[in-house]
Amino acid sequence: MQRNSEGVDWAIAGPRLFWLSPIFSALVVWIAIGTGQAAEWSLPSSGLTALVILGLMRLLRCRLCMDALLRRDFAAAWAAVLRTPEYRADGYKLPIGENVIGRRWCINIAQSGNILVGATTGYGKSNLLRCLVKRAIESSEIDTVTLIDLKMGVEFSEFASEVKVSHFASTPSEAFAALFAAKVHAEARLKTLPDAGLREWVGPLRIIVIDEVAGLARDRACSALFEWLVNQGRAAGYRIIAATQQPSVDVLPSLIRQGFDTRIALHTATDDHARTILGSLPDHARFDTKRLRKGRAVALYLGKFYLVSISATA
Ligand SMILES: Nc1ncnc2c1ncn2[C@@H]1O[C@H](COP(=O)(O)OP(=O)(O)O)[C@@H](O)[C@H]1O
Ligand SMILES: [Mg+2]
């Protein structure tokens, strides 16, 4: 798979530096004032002041950090900074391709919700799933990965022995066992949320990746578990990533489809298929899924449409 370019690493590091630079500059000002050096050093005051103000604005927006500062609990304040989205973003961002101007395009799995991938067969669904699985395995914010491929497990066989892969299912009974284990675990997590005062699980996420979800949907027992996980799993820190070549209503009824916030359509044969996957059709011609080449996708992500070139894993 193509690895990141330097510019993209900086784009990810940027928010962290944005946090750190005001904190360091505040430290410099504080030491300079404390040691009486400020006048001698003739600090470039306007730039530093601007950075300090930016840093303070960030701290003010981070309520937990402010609470800890007011209690003079500096360790807790720093821990709160480390828990902000900027610090956690790395592990949640799964880079899967490039946008139209060649910049790395990532899916933030914490924000994306469940992901539905649909396309005519042969246009890159399994490749896209493998891309996501590879990134998920590398990510520090992803706890375990469950892989379900009812076509003898061929698409995911390269990941079968990875430590993070908790279940590798290639038959309906294995898929049932994997989904059942996920449901039991998700329910246990959900029960702990009210006591912790949380509405959604905070911490490493668990991912369930299903290739050709139609096979699963045909199995009554599996489809009930699948439906439960799509609708209730998110709050428990589960994310479902499912691919289908049959984006029809009998495979994915609209109630289940609504549980997928992020939709990715590769090439589709008809507008109807694209509409079933994406939910609605973007009106711009460059988003026409009938004209997409292999590996090109239209993604509906966080409410916007993107044209993405998916990395080839081979
Ligand atoms: N992002 C990509 N870039 C280039 N070629 C791709 C890409 N994705 C898929 N392909 C090509 O298309 C073929 C079919 O891809 P695959 O992921 O198996 O499709 P599907 O699962 O939709 O049937 C692959 O063998 C590969 O040659
Ligand atoms: Mg496939």
Q: What is the CATH number of the domain that holds 137?
A: 3.40.50.300
Q: How deeply is 128 buried, as exposed, middle or buried, from its count of CB atoms within 10 A (0-12, 13-18, 19+)?
A: buried
123, 212, 245: which to mutate for ligand 1, most atoms within 8 A of CB?
Answer: 123
Judge if the beta carbon of residue 120 lies within 6 A of ligand 1: no
Q: Say whether both 77 and 102 belong to one domain.
A: no
The full length of the chain comes to 314
Please give the tally of structural domains in the chain.
Answer: 2
| Residue 135 pLDDT exceeds 80 | yes
Judge if the beta carbon of residue 93 lies within 6 A of ligand 1: no
Six-digit token string for 2: 């193509």
Domain final position from 48, 68, 83: 83
Which backbone phi and psi does 242 adopt, to 5 degrees? -125, 140
Q: Is 133 part of any domain?
A: yes
Bigger pLDDT: 31 vs 259: 259
Domain final position from 40, 64, 83: 83
> Pairing between strand 104-108 and 205-211?
unpaired
User: What integer is the mean pLDDT of 20-36?
Assistant: 68
DSSP per-residue letters across 238-257: EEEEEEES---TTTS-HHHH
DSSP per-residue letters across the chain: -PPPPHHHHHHHHHHHHHHHHHHHHHHHHHHHHHTT-HHHHT--HHHHHHHHHHHHHHHHH-HHHHHHHHTT-HHHHHHHHHTSHHHHHHHHEEEEEE-TTS-EEEEEHHHH-SEEEE-STTSSHHHHHHHHHHHHHH-TTEEEEEEEETTTTTTTGGGTT-TTEEEEE-SHHHHHHHHHHHHHHHHHHHHHHHHHT-SS--S-EEEEEEESHHHHHTSHHHHHHHHHHHHHTGGGTEEEEEEES---TTTS-HHHHTT--EEEE---SSHHHHHHHHSS--SSGGG-GGGPPTTEEEEEETTEEEEEEEPP--
Query: What is the percentage of the chain residues whose pLDDT exceeds 90?
Result: 50
Q: Say whether both 46 and 128 belong to one domain.
A: no
Q: How much is the pLDDT for 53?
A: 72
User: What integer is the mean pLDDT of 27-51?
Assistant: 65
Q: How much is the pLDDT for 36?
A: 65
Q: Which atom of ligand 1 is nearest to the CA of 309?
A: 1
Q: Is 306 part of any domain?
A: yes
The model carries a pTM of 0.76
Judge if the beta carbon of residue 125 lies within 6 A of ligand 1: yes
| Residue 249 pLDDT exceeds 90 | no
Q: How much is the pLDDT for 37?
A: 62
Judge if the beta carbon of residue 116 lies within 6 A of ligand 1: no
The answer to whether the beta carbons of residues 238 and 205 sit under 8 Å apart is yes
Residue ID of nearest Cα to ligand 1 atom 24: 124
Confidence of residue 48 (pLDDT cuts 50, 70, 90): low
The answer to whether the beta carbons of residues 192 and 222 sit under 8 Å apart is no
Q: Is 1 part of any domain?
A: no
Q: Say whether both 219 and 249 belong to one domain.
A: yes
Q: What are 142-177's pLDDT values in tens digits? A: 999 999 999 887 899 999 999 999 999 999 999 999
Q: What are 266-290's pLDDT values in tens digits? A: 999 998 899 999 988 887 777 899 9
Bigger pLDDT: 69 vs 114: 114
| Residue 84 pLDDT exceeds 70 | no
Q: Say whether both 259 and 169 belong to one domain.
A: yes
For residue 285, the CA-to-ligand 2 centroid distance in Å is 27
| Residue 260 pLDDT exceeds 70 | yes
Closest of 222, 219, 220, 189 to residue 205, by C-alpha: 189
Confidence of residue 90 (pLDDT cuts 50, 70, 90): low
Domain final position from 83, 105, 137: 83
Confidence of residue 202 (pLDDT cuts 50, 70, 90): confident
Q: Say whether both 163 and 78 belong to one domain.
A: no
Closest of 98, 109, 37 to residue 302, by C-alpha: 109
Q: Say whether both 31 and 103 belong to one domain.
A: no
CA quadruple 207, 213, 219, 224: dihedral sign: positive
Confidence of residue 86 (pLDDT cuts 50, 70, 90): low
| Residue 3 pLDDT exceeds 50 | no
Judge if the beta carbon of residue 123 lies within 6 A of ligand 1: yes
Q: Is 61 part of any domain?
A: yes
Domain span at 102: 90-310
Residue ID of nearest Cα to ligand 1 atom 6: 295
Judge if the beta carbon of residue 268 lies within 6 A of ligand 1: no
